[in-house]
Amino acid sequence: MTSRRKFIYKSIATAIGSITLPSFIRSRGIHEDLGVQLYTFRDAMMKDPKETLSKIANLGIKYLESARSEKGLYYGLTPLEMRDTCKSFDLALKSGHVLLDSDWLKTIEEAAEAGQEYLICSSLPTKGQYIDNYFSVADAFNKAGEDCKKLGLKFGYHNHGYEFETDKGRVLYDVLLENTDPSLVYMELDLGWVVMGGKNPIDYFKQYPGRFSLWHLKDMSLLKEVSTEFGKGDLNIPEMLRNADLSGVKYIFLEQEEYDNNPFDSIQYNLNYLAKLGG
C-alpha cells in the first residue's frame, strides 16, 4: 500500500508541477497538502470507519477532516481510536467539523485527544441573517478561539452560501471577517459555496490575504445546485490554485456532497483531474 501511495504522490506532483501553483505545493508535492472531508464518505464511515479509512488511504490521501455523525464526532470510535486508526494507515486527522454548543468544552478535549490541529464550527451558533447576530457570532468565535488556544488547538469557521447575503448594505460574511481576531479565528473557505453565494473566492483572497488557512476544494454546479466532480461545475479550479498562496491556505480538503456513482470514484476522478492540470 505504501509503494502504491508513493507512486500516486509522485505522479500527481509531477503532472501538476508545470503549471503555476502555490509554493507549498510546488516545493513539497501536492500530495503532502491534500486532504479529504470525511462527510464525502459519510455512509461508508458510519458502516465501517476503519475499512473506509483504509480505502481512503489507498487513494493517496494524506490528511483528513472529520464531520459530525449520528455516532458522534468520530463515527463510533473514541478520539484515541480515531487517532491510532488514522496513524496505522499513514493518515493524519488535522481538522474536524463541530458545533459551538453546550458540549463545547468536551469537544475541545476530545479533539486534543484525537491529535487534531483545527476545530471548525460548521454552522452559526445562533440563527439570524442580520448584522447584529453576526456581531454576536463574531464575539462567540473569538471566545471559542481563546478556548482552543489553551489546549493547543486552532478554531475556525466553515462557510456555506447564506453568509454572503447582505443586511443594511453589508455582506454578512464580511462582518465575521472584520470582527474576528485572525490570531484566534481561522477561516475555512468552502470555494464551492462561495460561488453558490454569488461571489468569487479570488476577491476574498485579495481583500483578506492570508486569512483562509483551510479550503474545501469543491466544484459546484450553479444550474443543478449540487456539488459535482472537478471541472464539471462553475468553480475555476486552476485559478483557485494559482492564487492559493495569496489566500494563506495550509490544508486543502477535497469534498463532494453528491455523486453519480460513489464517493470513492468521485474523489479518484478529482485526483485525476488535478494530475492532468499540467497537461
| Over residues 198-202, mean pLDDT | 97
Query: Measuring CA to CA, which residue among 4, 26, 43, 1 is closest to residue 277?
Result: 26
Distance CA 109, CA 37 (A): 21
Upper half-sphere CA count for residue 113 (Cβ side, 13 Å): 14
Q: 162 and 129 in contact (C-beta within 8 Å)?
A: yes
State yes or no: pLDDT of 5 exceeds 70: no
Which residue type occupies 47? K
- Output phi, psi for 118, to 5 deg: -125, 145
Of the pLDDT bands very low, low, confident and very high (cuts 50, 70, 90), residue 28 is very low
Helices (H) and strands (E) in the chain, counts: 13, 12
| Over residues 38-63, mean pLDDT | 96
Q: 97 and 67 in contact (C-beta within 8 Å)?
A: yes
- Output phi, psi for 66, to 5 deg: -85, 170
Q: 36 and 61 in contact (C-beta within 8 Å)?
A: yes
83 vs 18, residue with greater confidence: 83
**Tens digit of pLDDT for each residue in 73-124?**
999 999 999 999 999 999 999 999 999 999 999 999 999 999 999 999 999 9
Say which range, 29-38, 68-77, 199-208, has the weakest mean pLDDT: 29-38
Distance CA 142, CA 156 (A): 10
Q: 255 and 40 in contact (C-beta within 8 Å)?
A: yes
**CATH number 3.40.1410.10 given to 2-276:** no
Distance CA 245, CA 242 (A): 8
**Tens digit of pLDDT for each residue in 202-237?**
999 999 999 999 999 999 999 999 999 999 999 999
DSSP single-letter state for residue 228? E
Calculate what percentage of the chain has a pLDDT beyond 90. 84
Say which range, 16-20, 62-66, 160-164, has the weakest mean pLDDT: 16-20
Q: Give the pLDDT score at 26.
A: 45
Of the pLDDT bands very low, low, confident and very high (cuts 50, 70, 90), residue 24 is very low
Q: Give the pLDDT score at 33.
A: 64
Of the pLDDT bands very low, low, confident and very high (cuts 50, 70, 90), residue 56 is very high
Q: 111 and 78 in contact (C-beta within 8 Å)?
A: no
Q: Give the pLDDT score at 174.
A: 98
Average pLDDT score, the chain: 90
Q: 197 and 163 in contact (C-beta within 8 Å)?
A: yes
Upper half-sphere CA count for residue 54 (Cβ side, 13 Å): 5
Domain boundaries, the chain: 2-276
| Over residues 3-31, mean pLDDT | 41
Of the pLDDT bands very low, low, confident and very high (cuts 50, 70, 90), residue 138 is very high
Of the pLDDT bands very low, low, confident and very high (cuts 50, 70, 90), residue 276 is confident
Of the pLDDT bands very low, low, confident and very high (cuts 50, 70, 90), residue 34 is confident
20-28, long-range: CB < 8 A, 24+ apart: 20/242, 21/241, 21/242, 21/244, 22/241, 22/242, 22/244, 22/245, 22/249, 23/245, 24/244, 24/245, 24/250, 25/241, 25/244
State yes or no: pLDDT of 22 exceeds 80: no
Distance CA 47, CA 67 (A): 15
